[in-house]
Structures are given as C-alpha cells and as structure tokens.
Amino acid sequence: MKAVLNRPKRKASTPPPAEDAEDSTELKLAMLASLHSDIDQETLMDVLLAHDGSVADASASLQNFKPGGKKTGVIGQQQSLRHFAVGGASSTSPVKKKVKSRKGATLHLFDPADVAEHTPCTIIHNFLPPDLANDLLKELLDEAPTFEQITFKLFDNVVSSPHTSSFYVGSTSEIQTLKTDYYYNGSKLNDIRQLTPQLTKVRPLVQDAVNSEVQDRIKTTYPGGKKLKYQSPNTWIPNAAFVNCYDGAQQSVGWHSDHLTYLGPRAIIGSISLGVAREFRVRRVLPKDEDTRRPEDSDAEGQISIHLPHNSLLVMHAEMQEEWKHSIAPALSIDPHPIAGNKRINITYRDYRANMHPRYTPKCKCNIPCVLRVVTRKRENFGKYFWMCHAGNIPDKEGCSHFQWAEFDNDGNPIYGKR
C-alpha cells in the first residue's frame, strides 16, 4: 500500500545512512500541506524553498496567503503535446523530439500517447462499458461514507491524509489473513472488506487490460523489447483493491510511492478513476548527492500532470514506484460529475504476491516483519532494495535500527537467505 510520506526521524542506523535524510523535503512538504490544506503543493514547495526548508517560517509566511494568483487549477487547457511536435498536428508518428518537464512548471498531459512517452504510465480512456462504470461508481459512493482517513506519524505528530479510503480483498479467509499477518506502517489494519459485486465484476477486465498493456510496454519501451531485471514474467493477478474517495477539490494525497513490501520490486498497479476528473501528478526521483548532481537533473524532476477523467484506467508500470513519486494535487476548482457530485473515486488493483507474505519476510528486533524500501538518495546504491524496521511509524513507539539489503532473483522473487 502507500508510503504516505510517513517517515519519522530515526536514530542513527546501519547503512545506508543517506536514507535517513530521504524524503525530508517531502516530510516537510506534507507537514506544511497538513497545516495549509487550501494551498497547492507547488506553492508550498516554493515557499518552503524560499525559507531554506524551515517549516515554521514557511508556515508563518503562509498565514496570510490567498490562493488563486498563480494557477487556474482548472483541468482542460492543452490537448496534446503532439500538436507541438516536429511535423505538426497531422503527424501520427510518436514524438521524436522529447518534450521534457521543466523545474517549476507543470507539464499537463491529456493524450494517452503523450502519457506513454513521458511517464512510466499508460492510460486507457473510456475503459469500461459506460453502464458498468456508472454501476461501479454508484456502488462505491454508497460505501465511501464509511471510509476513514489514513493517519500516519510525521516527526512526533500524528497527521491524517486529506482523503478517505478502504481496502478490499476477495474472500473472508483473505480478510482474516490480512488482518492477522500483515502490517501497514508498523501496525495491523482493521478495515479490510470483501470485494463488492461490481469490484469483482471489473477485476478480470482490469487483469486482462493491465497484462496486455504490460506486454505492449515491454515491446515498445524497454531496451531490446526485453522485460526489466526484477520484473515478474508471471501474469499479473489483482487480488486486492485499495479504494480512495476524494470529496471536493481540496481532498488530495501527498507525494508518495506505494509500498513494495507485499507487491515486490517493479510492482504493477492498475488504477481506475470514476466521477470528478482530477490531476494525477508524477515526478521522477533522482539521486540527491551534492557532488554528482547534474544540472539537467532538476528539470527531469519537474512535475507532470496526467488528466484522469471518469472511467479511465491508468497502468503504473515497472519503474513507477522505485523511480517516480505520485500525488493527487488539491484543485482550485472541479467540474461536478452528474452521478458523483464533487467526489472522485479511485480504485487501485494490486497483486499481493504469495512469496512476499510476512511469514517469509525478515523480521526486525521489534519482532515485526520489515518494510521493503529502495535507495533513491545516493547514486552509489540507487535502486538497491533493503528491509528495515518500521515500528517507528507507530505513535509513541521508537522502533529499532534494523537494516539489511534485500535480494531478488531476475524475476523479482525474493531470496530469503539469512534471517
């Protein structure tokens, strides 16, 4: 599930020490966002930078901030990057000249060909038969009032993500297993539900579409048409669905990447959007070592906004969780949806892998199964996976400093050598 910016400060630990600093900007950003939920993340980031990373100073200067001047917040300006490509709007071939993101500016993508070219995602518009999409939406709108906000520990505070969600699996025995064996942010989850009739009906359609998108992606994008190291060659089977509800323009989810602990490396996720159209922002994560940082890196980290209309399926491909972060940005305005009003429902279908069950994964000194993470800060170990203690995410608990490198075979199957 997601790593919703939930890294508390830890005491000195075993390597890689640079990971201690990981996400510190995002933590600060999340803190500011929870204090100023009406202000968009781009502005928060600018203000944070202008105050040399001091949350207190940035927050003080935001007390009198009036949202509105900088951005319209309205989705729907640009149609396709291909209109700007060499060869003009009539060209049907893919863009040859890469249009890159720029630091400080958001590149808005609406066209599936642009999304496939510039991000690790592909998108299918009008994915479900219209009536099925509406039935699924109605069913989940009925469920949503009982969803809860996810709370997480940020430094010494417990904060809530500004949206609600719930977690669904196929059978009562799976619910039981998830409740007793699995940990999220160091604790057990209580709200696990059985897949609803429409979620069950849509599941095989998502499975087929995602597997076929993955095959296409391998052919068109990865060098030599070969699957990536660690990418599973197995059929992707969505046995869990995480459902989010965003009620109104201000509800959002901060920058994060989804937890790999139960999905394994190079996880694939199929994400359906229903109701109000919102912006899904993505940005690349590059190593932050001062000495090896290249000037072009900051532009490559510029944010890209993917427009997610009602009844679209977004596939997050292999490199998404390791090398990119994503968020649902707060909007300044939204177009109400005829069925959902101001609400957006999102379903992320996921494949919980049997060989990543917590009965197999390493345990830390707190006797809790470790969380799987990936190095993103240091160029030296960039992309290497490791297991670490996440008991520190539990309010009032310290956690231990357990760390060990994680090993996988070429197909992404874990190798559990020493425990």
Ligand X SMILES: O=C(O)CCC(=O)C(=O)O
Contact residues for Fe ion, defined by CB under 5 A = 2, 258
Say how far apart CA 253 and CA 33 lie, in whole Å: 10
Q: Which is nearer to ligand X, 40 or 258 (CB)?
A: 258
Residue 312's binding partner out of Fe ion, ligand X, none, with CB under 5 to 8 Å set by partner kind: none
Asked if residue 2 binds ligand X (CB under 6 A), the reply is yes
CA 244 to chain centre: 12
- Sequence-ordered alpha helix ranges (H) in 245-369: 297-300, 320-323
The one of Fe ion, ligand X, none whose footprint includes residue 280, by CB under 5 to 8 A per kind, is ligand X
Separation between Cα atoms, residue 371 and residue 186, nearest integer Å: 8
Q: Is 337 in the site for ligand X (CB under 6 A)?
A: no
Asked if 211 contacts 122 with a C-beta cutoff of 8 angstroms, the reply is no
Q: CB-wise, 82 or 325, nearer to Fe ion?
A: 325
For position 280 contacting ligand X by CB under 6 A, the verdict is yes
* Least separation in angstroms between CB 191 and ligand X: 14
Kindly state the tokens that stand for 254.
């901060």
Residue from the set 6, 134, 271, 321 that interacts with ligand X by CB under 6 A = 271
What lies within 8 Å, CB to CB, of 230 at 6+ separation is 265, 266, 318, 408, 410, 411, 412
> Which of 7, 326, 373, 377 is the binder for ligand X (CB under 6 A)?
326
Contact flag: residue 41 with ligand X (CB under 6 A): no
134 versus 251: smaller Cβ distance to ligand X: 251
Site for ligand X in 65-104 (CB under 6 A): none
> What is the nearest approach in angstroms of ligand X to the Cβ of residue 5?
12
Rg (CA), the chain: 21
Nearest approach in angstroms of CB 54 to Fe ion is 28
- In our burial notation (b when 16+ CB lie closer than 10 A, e otherwise), range 58-93 reads bbeebeeeeeeeeeebebeeeeebbeebeeeeeeee
Per DSSP, the residues of 217-245 read HHHHTSGGGPPPTT---SPP---EEEEEE
Q: Which is nearer to ligand X, 163 or 378 (CB)?
A: 163
Shorter beta-carbon distance to ligand X: residue 151 or 298: 151
253 binds ligand X (CB under 6 A): yes
CA dist list (Å): 136 to 70, 80, 128, 130, 392: 36, 29, 10, 10, 37
- Judged by beta carbon, residue 244 or residue 361, the one nearer ligand X is 244
The DSSP secondary-structure symbol of 195 reads P
For the CB of residue 165, give the shortest distance to ligand X in the complex, in Å: 7
Which residue of 346, 361, 376, 381 would you call a contact of ligand X, by CB under 6 A? 346
Q: In the structure encoding, which two tokens stand for residue 26, read together? A: 């995002």
235 class by beta-carbon count within 10 Å (0-12 exposed, 13-18 middle, 19+ buried): exposed
Minimal distance, residue 348 CB to ligand X, in Å: 5
The DSSP symbol for 43 reads: H
Rounded to the nearest whole angstrom, what is the least distance from the CB of residue 123 to ligand X in the complex?
A: 11
Smallest distance from ligand X to CB 292, Å: 30
Q: Quick one: tokens of 60?
A: 């003080």
Q: Which value, to the nearest 10 degrees, does the dihedral of the CA atoms of residues 294, 3, 43, 340 take?
A: 130
Contact residue for ligand X among 110, 184, 242, 386 (CB under 6 A): 242
Residue 311 binds ligand X (CB under 6 A): no
Nearer to Fe ion, 47 or 371 (CB): 371
Q: Confirm or reject binding of residue 244 to ligand X (CB under 6 A).
A: yes
Residue 259 as a binder of ligand X (CB under 6 A): the answer is no
Least distance to ligand X from the beta carbon of 312, Å? 10
Residue 288 interacts, among Fe ion, ligand X, none and using kind-specific CB cut-offs from 5 to 8 Å, with none
Among 258, 279, 322, 351, binds ligand X (CB under 6 A): 258
**Closest distance of CB 7 from ligand X, Å:** 16
| Residue nearest to ligand X according to CB distances in the complex | 346
Which residue is listed with tokens 């997601």? 2
| Size of the chain in residues | 419
Strands 192-194 and 157-169, sheet pairing:
parallel
Point out which residues bind ligand X (CB under 6 A): 2, 242, 244, 253, 258, 271, 280, 326, 328, 346, 348
